[in-house]
Structure 1
């Protein structure tokens, strides 16, 4: 009897999954909604009566009902990179030249896909079942929204065939225009304000606490990229075709292009045809199709070299410029801001836009009370791009750029060759002080939970902190009396500050806010110098000898290291126990065996994957390059190494070594 019930439950689950797939992915319903609901109710009844057969991936679980108070932050197994953007055909031609140079191949095959305007999601599957769904976050970590994602019916909870044992598939959670418009009609009828645009509404839906509310929204998921250690496919296109076969909603608007001219044809077609789509798109993503070539090309610090986004021309509107105000950044840089008569642009109300710098204001001759043209750069950041001179008032006067800091009244300086003006009052200007502390606590730096930008300003205003080292002296009893600060909030803040002492050295170095030292440079410097003492005692010549450290970065580090205030801050951080040197764990397995040696990794390997090989090179003091040059010392050559790379290596006399040779070199 039990076997019969279990068999019936499994049969209904499979039937409902197939009907779900037919309706939400193939857009080809094979039964009526009424028949589907009857089967779903039958399954629900059987599951309620037989709780031993519960399955979190059953079709009955899509209705939601789970309440999530706090979304757990999860580290991505594989980083979710951004894409480099291009805005012209010339940008794409330059990108192709870089691809050809790095691969040594002239005839590259591409895939073109539409760039969907929604919220990025990373889905993890194990043995054919959905295990987790995590938002993009900062690319390194995101929020676990699995309960909410399971309510989206176009996402398979169980795959319809064999794909890969373990993999991640990435896509965009979108809100189709028809569904968005219906939601807004319902809101207006209920006397509520309509949502601004589909993208923000889709993104906000993922963080709703009640998954049944998410289930009531017509969200969809379009998938476009698979990440796994060993995929049995040769190309990106083949991977997506097979993903579609096992139940994933992969859009049909994907095409193999044999040349850059075919890429241009695809862009030209969709620049017009996108207006007929049921969802929003803002460009085309061009990718190298061959997975082996993708692997060879690798990544920059921020984006894959093998992909680029071509953005359609931004939407533009005109409005009145009411006032120009000036913002001070944490480095003292002054940014002029246009305060505008509110205007609807690309689905959002725009009230402020960047004017960049004094040169831009002068070049465009931007003045108060002008009618200006505004667009969103990459359809994200509003900027003023021109003036309608036919509507300029007769009493208009040219804009005079400010000469003194709007916060501390210090006279501004502008160095030769620099586009921006700066406030030189580094340690006395309130905005620079709070800006440095806000950078220090940020997610990519010290990632201090329970402490935000507004709280930093409040603590500074109350005289409790004047720099980031002061954070470690804060006590709960000092914080509790502050406005909007309950006992629990104060406790979480102090705990978050204490926990930041575990943050590794490379992130601390980035957090210090040394000008021009971003995340990637901080990692490189931490790895090379291994401690803040060694870094701050390094000479200019020593710094510029470090790979990819130029004169500008070196001089900035020298300036930081010679400043008494910075020296005192660093000494205080050491006293508090902040990690200002690489940990023993980080130094483990690191040697100088390959110091000053440049390697190119090419081909397919059996004992180590390409990323493991590159890490081993860097851990032992070597440098990994993506292209062969006279500076290359060795090429680690695996199977299927490109013939053009082999020819170039031979012409330059660069030795080719096998995977086993490389391992022997380390041992």
Structure 2
């Protein structure tokens, strides 16, 4: 085990050996193979003790004594020792990196009720609270604290070690999220100093505002929907079943109430002074006051400071300081009678822009999105707003730091209407390269596009979703959630990777069973010989949807002929119905892109688009709508769709009240069948489908 160079420095005042990892620790260590298990155990104990102290200095005191790189080296050494010598322990600091995914959260009862707080935004209600308190228990002092806008939780310690962490739930019981809580840096696995043997404390888990905006920016840029506000982001993170996911997200905790303990302080002030000595982080904005008017003044000062705080608050909490007075005041079924929340008014429509994220859509279109201080717009909390395009940004002269008015129409994304107060110079300008793949950004009028095509990771997920959608190859089971899983786990890096998925890989994913995996693989296998029109639409070529794809298939007959013409003589595409000069150029640019060409070539190794002899066959089925599910034995599902469309019918990918027939082949999708039954849509098998066509005079239409 390494020791300090200065012989006198490795002894404490009482002569015992000091911890060499507390002050100016070494970062070079003996090889693991040279250590005995006893030596390793001794080193592990010292490292755990030191890392806990460094965590306390960092999270509680905000005064770290070692560099981040040094801390990382100590942490890595501890992790390596635990793994090599099988010395893991539940309260080790290494538990902060996560653990095995959970199947579900267990519901457990709180050690003491976690009730809500009576609240109001009216000052007279606050004064009435004070009058009632003084009438019942006499003169009191109050402790005033920020009302954090996060997720309240109970943390229970037994003999100093974290036993469990539980969400508030209904106040009587909540979800046991201990595995997730262990990953939060400001949650000590073991308390410092000399805590009571049994100790339960209430804390607020939150996401700092700057971290929230950075996290939302990442989500937007990779194509995910952002969280509405930091509280939603925190709650969504704590509900994750995989602790390693939680460990990657920037959560913090403030502790503010002792719920139960084998030894209790006489006042709340004394409790708050004691918590940091145990390594539990408290808020530095807490004040004790003598009168309710001083508490009201505190609230007004916090309202002015609200925007400058690194965390979200939506008011202040006024608490009786004396524990005896609290016991005398008691509680109702819903809230403690010794506390009152004096709420802030909601921010209304006007708010500052703290950042701008650039979202890359399926077609490569770049959409600038303003990230806002959360604001109330029409009763809905809004933290993002569209800036539309570069021309709109320039016209409104809007930039990061400006205070803007936000509008919201219906359920569409809110938008920045105007700049109310200029806090910046000039207007925001889009980057010259894609923020995701670094490909050059190109302009088409007011619209900006990433030129990376299907090789851009941001476009990949949405490209896969579209490839499998109703307008593509209609692969039931390949939706937004499953695509995110496949991409995030690295199983799918291009659209073509869908065809290399294996059963065992799918069943290892959360939420997947053998049946769902088999159904998906059957859907993918059935798509290897798609109709040309479906394949062209599935590629996601800008401006080429199902209708245009059918016209192109009818005109060129084969994919090779179409691709050759698109690359060499794009002007000739203009002779096709629904294709003008702009669409023709877009098709040419799509196939001219090296990234797109590589993806298409990879797809063609697995997929053989069928040559099309699609011709108008009449209007015998006009007005009818068909949906197909499962595999057909005589023809492919796409060929059946082409046939009914050629005779005037509509072929859609999902069942609704407007559907006339659901055609179910082998291994049909359960969702479509359930939707058909719910909407009283007739379900016909393959033989009945052919009989139906014959009834309409369509003979040999599938040959």
Q: With structure 1 as the length reference, what TM-score do the two structures score?
A: 0.48
Q: With structure 2 as the length reference, what TM-score do the two structures score?
A: 0.46
CA radius of gyration, larger in: 2
